[in-house]
Amino acid sequence: MHEKKQDISLTVNGAAVTVSPGTTVAAAVAMAGAATRTSVSGEPRGPLCGMGICFECRVTIDGIPHQRSCQILCAPGLAVTTGSGAVAPMEAARTP
């Protein structure tokens, strides 16, 4: 990973955001002033644990929903969408 230390451009809800290499998607979302998700009762939520445990920072990245934005680094051209509902059709982990 010997990339040049160039700034990275991505979009958050369609708006352009420029960040330094090594920036997480969660930080980019915060810089764009957005909450990450909407809870089942409609509350706006932002990151809580910052380390991939709490799932509050889930966003949609390049069309794939429920990505933990604190565990994913920004890359050029990522399209990030926030505010998705908490219903998680792709998650099978509904443990009894």
Binding site for another protein (CB under 8 A): 1, 19-20, 22-28, 30-31, 35-36, 39-41, 43-56, 58, 61-64, 66-68, 70-78, 86, 88, 90-96
- Nearest approach in angstroms of CB 19 to another protein is 6
Contact 67, 61 (CB under 8 A): yes
SS3 8: strand
- Nearest approach in angstroms of CB 94 to another protein is 6
- Nearest approach in angstroms of CB 14 to another protein is 17
Give the residue with the Cβ less far from another protein, 10 or 14: 10
Distance CA 37, CA 50 (A): 14
76 contact partners, CB below 8 Å, separation of at least 6: 8, 9, 10
Query: Which among 37, 20, 31, 36 is positioned nearest to 74, based on CA atoms?
Result: 20
Give the residue with the Cβ less far from another protein, 14 or 41: 41
Give the residue with the Cβ less far from another protein, 14 or 35: 35
